[in-house]
Amino acid sequence: MNYMRIYHNIVEKAKTRTTEDYVEKHHIIPKCLGGSNDKENLVELTAREHFICHWLLAKHHNSKQLWNAFSMMCIGAKKHHRYISSRTFEILRKARSLASKGENNPMYGKPSACKSHTEETKMKIRMSKLGKKRAPFKRPPLSDETKKKISESKKGKPRNKILTDPQSN
């Protein structure tokens, strides 16, 4: 399918029409592809056209920035929520993932912070994380004075309400 032909048809129709409906400004050449904010590079599209144009651009260029822009449109703004089908959502997620793999990943070729650790350090980190997850909450020890105050405040009160006589309440 020729995504750019469809894209250009939508843009050209939008350039020549006037509408009173809700419109959104769209960069004809996206900024991530070298486009500018000049008036010649902007067009007013309906919300649906804008959505479709971003999808077409992302599919054609398979750029991480364009997939992110389309993804943000799918989430929707507070005022104008958009709902997409599960199929569209799946396609979007897969395309975004593929667009940021390998050389497109900003961390590609850069050393991982974990590689600088020795095996011994890595094991210590793992053990400390496990210990933190499993360790029960420990209250700081109470002073003798505090223990005495608590004891005094509980004198004469039943230890367990379940065992007390319901008539005595």
What does the pLDDT look like over 126-167, one tens digit per residue?
666 555 555 555 677 888 998 899 888 888 877 765 544 555
Mean pLDDT, residues 83-110: 71
**CA dist list (Å): 46 to 29, 37, 78, 96, 119:** 17, 19, 17, 24, 57
60 domain-assigned: yes
When divided into structural domains, the chain yields a total of 1
**Any domain includes 11:** yes
pLDDT at 88 over 80: no
Does residue 16 fall inside a structural domain? yes
Structural domain containing residue 15: 3-100
By the 8 A CB rule, do 69 and 50 touch? no
Determine, yes or no, domain membership for 67: yes
Q: What pLDDT was estimated at residue 118?
A: 66
* 92-99 long-range contacts, CB within 8 A, separation 24+: 92/67, 95/58, 95/59, 95/62, 95/67, 96/64, 96/67, 96/68, 96/71, 98/62, 99/62, 99/63, 99/64, 99/67
More confident residue, 76 or 85: 85
